[in-house]
Structure 1
């Protein structure tokens, strides 16, 4: 267990690393933090109802990005990233 894992109550932190060794980065402009969530959205004026676009978000920016999409009627759901997303 790493130091951050021990500070998080004994739970090891899950890292979302791509096959190329890069981690999944938050979509918020200027943010370089690792993403922990994906926000699913679509623009109903140009996308079919079943289509889902994805923005990635770190814990700090999840609410900001969700509110941005929700204000425009684009937000559909927020989901935690899982091992299959890496």
Structure 2
């Protein structure tokens, strides 16, 4: 694989998305044992919305993040373009 130089914004956005998704994992685990915690549920929904917005913005600039129909691809098919997010 050849080394690809990506803009700093790529890494910054990916790190922000990973941070938000980590919060979602933690809130998900908490809500599994505290399903009646309204404040935690509100936080989960807020971070869920933020995650979707970050994904949409990232994909608009840099291409798809997820496969199997979870991300749209522009024409031509973008999954041939590397690096993929898990490679950086």
What is the TM-score when the length of structure 1 is the normalising length?
0.24
Q: Which has the higher contact order (CA 8 A, sep 6+)?
A: 1
More strand by share: 1
Task: Specify the structure having the higher radius of gyration (Cα).
Answer: 2
- TM-score relative to the length of structure 2: 0.24
